[in-house]
Structure 1
Amino acid sequence: MLSRHQRFWNGYARLVQKPVLASIPHQPTVRRIADLSAAITLKTPSGLRLVEKSLEWGTGSVRTTVCQVGQDPTGGSMLYLHGGAFMIGNLRGYRHLVARLGGAANQKAYFLHYGLSPEHRFPTALDQATAAYEALCADRKAGPISLIGDSAGGNLVFALLHRICCRGLQQPVAVAGISPFADLRLTNGSLQANARSDHLVPLSWILRGKSAYLAGHDPSDPEVSPVLGKFVAAPPCLIHVDETEILFDDSKALADRLRDQGVTTKLQMFEGRSHVWHLNVGRCPEADSSVAEIGAFVKKQVADRTV
């Protein structure tokens, strides 16, 4: 049974956020509204610490922010890739979640400031994620690395994992996706079947995100649709998704793809929660428990790797 807190946030998503995403085409305005919503609704953890960190790789660098609460972590590093249909999302909206995930996993949590569409189209965000990951791999102090992302950030996480496997790079210790936007071909049945039941995401928003990010690039490229990716020898993966989401089938298909290639994968399905409900951590028990579960999953993989 859903808590009253989750029912409240479901209503806020349906009555406020979903209409904004569906009805306002002006991208800067949507970003400003998203920032205002984050300032009003998201709970900043007590003792939150933010440290700007430039990760150097090759001839360039990428900008990250380390988000932390509590004691200094000892279990490695987490690279977090945020959602927002490749078009919105920033530190203000995610710092609390990234810090709480890092604390739950006992890892130093890095939020990547990747370039947003339509100003920065594919493959900019994926290239920046790759550079950040390789920089962490080259840092002897980074320790075991986990990859976590939500929605469009989940797309980037598994596209990055595909690159890692294809290029023979050092594997992360664990990978977690929250409602990943994994198939930009947009052929999955839940896009239509769950159009009404999804509390937050209108189909028009998905279409805009695809168009802005790809700019005509082939959606069958596994670097943009990781549901078609190669994942042999990848580490254990965890996927969270709600059955009422329009991206529900993306998660199921991605989990099947991973399992078919021998990857230990847990698909955790919920019912009645809004897209990426984890953002309500600190204000909702469903979010708190899901963040704790992801943290425990990462900690277990780190422990198993170091035995």
Structure 2
Amino acid sequence: MSQAQLDALLALFRKYPFDPAVGEGPRRRLMDRMGEVFAPPPQVAVEPVALGGVPAERLTASADGPALLYLHGGGYVTGSVASHRHLGGLLAAEMQGTVHVLDYRLAPEAPFPAPLDDAVAAWRALAAERGGRPAGIAGDSAGGGLAFATALRCRAAGLPMPNCIVGLSPWVNLGTESESYDKLGPLDPTLSREAAAWYADRYLAGADPRDPMASPLFADLAGLPPVLIQVGDREVFFGDAASMHQSLLAAGVEARLSVWQRMFHAWHLSWPQLDEGRAALAEAAAFIRESLSA
């Protein structure tokens, strides 16, 4: 690890503490600026597509390699293909395959379960396009929780299941009761109990935060495919991510929990500036390749 890299990022994040008075529009514009600052690797082709009627971008390093549906983070309120193009592009390069970054609808204009409906429609279309060849689902933060919920909805509907699930700092419990919010909040420069509640309120729009389609931590997880969860040891989602891993194991699911020391929430997005971001995505890509070739 480069301590200078980490210190510079932490200083930058702490210059912009969470302000509940800032609305959805400015937050979206700020997050989408990542698409202006960071680019996918040059060998990755970028193509706008639609999956099940939902806009997306196909990021291709090798059309013959593994395929992935990627669900971006942003608390179900922010995030887009622009904010996550560089992340999906590096995953595609590391996988030597294709990543489809989905531009699902956002809350509060389209609250729960609209993003889940979009993700299921996109997965159904990708599975049909693959014609039985294996494919996986991944996502960071809210997109990580959405990846689990998508697989659970597919299981319930008898749809084709993904061959693996990857959750990067996944948001699997929209409640904020975990003690990690208290113990790790001061160490996580990007997320807090107040921020998580702000995003959850807009997504749920009065729905029960313990609904397993919103908070898959409370779901029956039996029958899910192999899972990789990556979480930083200094992020407020640590406790819920660890509990999700335990619940997956208890349900008989093959699951790995990869804990990254000194990492904050969704450090993967900072891969152009942080060696650990690139290394974590390389680990995720290796898991995906392994799972899809099994």
Range that drifts further, 181-190 or 44-53 = 44-53
Of 67, 86, 104, which aligns to 1:96?
Answer: 86
Q: Which structure 2 residue ranges, 5 or more long, are not aligned?
A: none
Residue 73 of structure 2: aligned partner: 83
Q: What's the TM-score once normalised by structure 1's chain length?
A: 0.90
Residue 264 of structure 1: aligned partner: 254
Deviations 1:213-241 (A, max 9, x none): 00110111100010011222211100010
For the residue of structure 2 that corresponds to 1:147, the secondary structure is strand
1:222-237 equivalences under 5 Å are 222-237=212-227
Deviations 1:163-190 (A, max 9, x none): 1232332221111001111111222111
Residue 5 of structure 1: aligned partner: 5
Cα distance, 1:197 vs structure 2: 0.9
Runs ≥4 residues deviating over 6 A: none
CA RMSD of aligned residues (A): 1.8
Residue 49 of structure 2: aligned partner: 53
Contact 2:69 2:99 in 1 (8 A): yes
Distance, in Å, in 2 between the alignment partners of 1:48 and 1:105 is 11
Matched, 1:196 2:186: yes
Distance, in Å, in 2 between the alignment partners of 1:23 and 1:221 is 25
For the residue of structure 1 that corresponds to 2:46, the secondary structure is strand
Distance, in Å, in 2 between the alignment partners of 1:240 and 1:8 is 22
1:29-48 equivalences under 5 Å are 29-36=26-33, 38-40=35-37, 42-48=38-44
Distance, in Å, in 2 between the alignment partners of 1:216 and 1:80 is 27
Residue 280 of structure 2: aligned partner: 290
Contact 2:66 2:289 in 1 (8 A): no
Distance, in Å, in 1 between the alignment partners of 2:275 and 2:88 is 17
For the residue of structure 1 that corresponds to 2:229, the secondary structure is strand
For the residue of structure 2 that corresponds to 1:196, the secondary structure is helix
Matched letter for residue 51 of structure 2? L
Cα–Cα, structure 1 residues 37 and 95, in superposed 2: closer, same or farther, change >3 Å?
Answer: closer
Residue 63 of structure 1: aligned partner: 55
Q: Which structure 1 residue ranges, 5 or more long, are not aligned?
A: none
For the residue of structure 2 that corresponds to 1:286, the secondary structure is helix
For the residue of structure 2 that corresponds to 1:89, the secondary structure is coil
Count of equivalent residues: 294
Contact 1:79 1:147 in 2 (8 A): yes
Residue 15 of structure 1: aligned partner: 15
Q: What's the TM-score once normalised by structure 2's chain length?
A: 0.94
Cα distance, 1:49 vs structure 2: 2.5
